[in-house]
Each structure stands twice: as C-alpha cells, then as structure tokens.
Amino acid sequence: MEFSEKALVLRVGRFREIDAWVRLFSPSRGVYTAFAFGGCRSRRRFCGCLDVFNHVHFKVKSGRAYHTLLEGQLVNGHGRLRAEPGRLGMAVNCLKFFEAVEVPPPGARAAHDMLLESLAALSDEPAPPRLFPVYFRARVACDQGFFPSLSVCHACGVTGADLPGAVFHVEEGRFLCPACHRPGRGTFVRLGRETVTLLETVRRAGPATWGGLAPSSAAAGEFSRLLDRFVTYHLGLSWEHGTFVKN
C-alpha cells in the first residue's frame, strides 16, 4: 500500500553505504520510522529532504515489516535554524523534550502543530526569547493535559488566586491561594501575579507571539523553577549532558 503525507523529520541515520533510516512525525500516524534506500546519494528523489527539522511531503510504501520512503518534496527546511547556533540550540532543546515526552496517538495532531509552529517561530522571529524552550515545555505539558490551569485555587475554587503568597504544590500538582496554603511536607514553588499571568498567556497564545513576552527576572526565575520541578517530578525527565533523560 502506498500513501502520501507531510511529516516532520526528527532524526536521520545511515545504515549500509547509501541507505538511510528516517524518524518521522506526522499528525495522523504520530512518530514512526521509514527507510530511504539510496537516500544518502539520491539527488532526484530526496533532494534537500533528509535533514532534521525539515517538513517534507513524502510518498511512502507501507509493508508488513517496515515503511519505505519512495520520494520526498521539501515543504519547509527552516534553514535559518542551522545558520545561527542560538536558534539551533533552542530548536534542539524543544525537539529533545518532545521526543522524551513520547506523546500518545490521541495527542499527536496538537503536538505536531505546536512543534511546527515553534520551529517556524524560532526560524522566522527576529530575536527568539531565551525562555522559548521553557515556554515550549509548558505549552506541550498543558496541551497534553499534564499541567493544570492556574486560573483558580485547586482547594477552595476561588478565582484570581494569583495573590501574594500563592504557591504551586509540586508533588500534588495543585495551585493554592494564600488562604489555603499550609506549609507542610512537599515542594512548594511561590508564584507571583506576573508568573501566573505568564503561564496562562503561554497556554493560550501561539509560539509566534512568545517573542513579545518580556517577564521580569523574578517572574522568569519562578516560571523556570516551576517547569523544571514539575517536569522532573510528574514527567520523570531531567536535562543531563545535552539531552532529557528518564529519572
């Protein structure tokens, strides 16, 4: 059976002299691996296609044991990412987090769209913010239902719980207003009004708008600590030696 679809190239590796394996991500099939026989030398069937971060329209043959890439047409190479180390580093960080999360099939379309929008923003924006990878982790966690809303206190339900003294209980995954916060066992991250607003903005707005966010150093620090501790505890991931590893 043959099919055609657009897919994002996540990884490329060589096996044998001229053949390649390609890890792809599509909104309909999620993450899968296909083989490009002769792909390392072909200038006609895969011209400029087999590079990480490329968005490609592939023609694929599906067999019982594996998929074979028959040809590809480049849709977007996100070329600016490779020209500037800062952009490339942020893009790699986002991609490694996405792969480590292992998004289930029901969430593939949302994750695919978010990843493409993020790569486009990192490639096209004049100056992507240094917190871009943190915003990306927050958005993926929210979209996949891992991270709760901070619009209400999870204990009493009062809205506008972004008052001085509001905290996030990491182990319980709960946002607590000052009246409900009782110091005790566990890890608490104190969140100011600006930090709560920042997270809710990232949850609603697309990556193309993140360059306009300008949090204070205090809010940026709170936001980063919150995501770091949440991802470590609830997703079991930590950044070590240039990649995300399971704890």
Tell me, yes or no, whether 232 and 138 share the same domain: yes
> What percent of the chain has a predicted confidence (pLDDT) above 70?
98
Among 44, 76, 108, identify where a domain stops: 76
The percentage of the chain sitting over the pLDDT mark of 90, rounded to a whole number, equals: 68
Residue 68 pLDDT more than 70? yes
Give yes or no: residues 65 and 97 share one domain. no
Examine the domain organization and report whether 15 and 114 are in the same domain. no
What's the pLDDT at 106?
85
Is the pLDDT higher at 178 or at 217?
A: 217
Whole-angstrom distance, CA of residue 62 vs CA of residue 26: 15
Can you point out the beta strands (E) in the chain? 2-15, 19-26, 30-36, 55-62, 67-76, 167-169, 174-176, 188-190, 237-240, 243-246
Average pLDDT over residues 145-157: 89
**Is 71 in the same domain as 145?**
no
Note whether 60 and 176 are same-domain residues.
no
Pair (108, 71) in one structural domain: no
Which residue, 28, 45, 76, sits at the end of a domain? 76
pLDDT band at 162 (very low <50, low <70, confident <90, very high): low
- Please tell me the pTM assigned to this model: 0.91
Which segment of 75-84, 126-135, 152-161 scores lowest on mean pLDDT? Answer: 152-161
Tally of domains in the chain = 2
**Cα separation, 148 vs 234, whole angstroms:** 12
pLDDT at 204 over 80: yes
Cβ atoms < 10 Å from Cβ of 246:
9
Q: What is the mean pLDDT of residues 162-191?
A: 87
Helix (H) or strand (E) holding 134: helix 132-143
Q: Are residues 50 and 103 in the same domain?
A: no
More reliable by pLDDT, 65 or 34: 34
State whether 188 and 124 are in the same domain. yes
Please tell me whether residues 132 and 15 are part of one structural domain: no
Question: Do 50 and 137 reside in the same domain of the chain?
Answer: no
Q: Are residues 115 and 219 in the same domain?
A: yes
pLDDT digits (tens, 9 = 90+) for 97-116: 999 998 888 889 999 999 99
Residue 25 is part of which domain span?
Answer: 2-76
Domain boundary among the residues 27, 46, 76 is at: 76
Mean pLDDT of the chain: 91
Q: Which of 18-22, 154-158, 175-179, 180-184 has the lowest mean pLDDT?
A: 180-184
Q: Identify residue 102 by its one-letter amino acid code.
A: E
Taking the C-alpha atoms of residue 244 and residue 196, their distance in angstroms, rounded to an integer, is: 26
Residues 30 and 129 in one domain: no
CATH number at residue 53: 2.40.50.140
CATH number, domain of 118, equals 1.20.1440
Rounded mean pLDDT, 62-90: 92
